[in-house]
Amino acid sequence: MSDKAFIISTIIVLAICLLLTLAHLAYIGYAYQNSSIIYFVSQEIWP
């Protein structure tokens, strides 16, 4: 893999991963405001 191809590939992979993570965080932000607090507590994991 050439330097140029590696840099472009890295940028594309990072961009896709960041976008997916941001979408996940946005969903959490929305759903956290609207979910049941009882269900949220019931699914908590304690060691």
Provide the mask over 3-32, with x wherever binding to another protein is found by CB under 8 A and - wherever it is not: ---x--xx--xx--xx-xx--xx-xx-xxx
CB of 33 to another protein, least distance (A): 8
Distances (CA, A) of 36 to 10, 12, 30, 45, 46: 40, 37, 13, 17, 19
CB of 27 to another protein, least distance (A): 7
Q: Tokens 């759903």 label which residue?
A: 31
CA separation for the pair 22, 18 (Å, rounded): 6
List contacts with another protein (CB under 8 A).
1, 6, 9-10, 13-14, 17-18, 20-21, 24-25, 27-28, 30-46
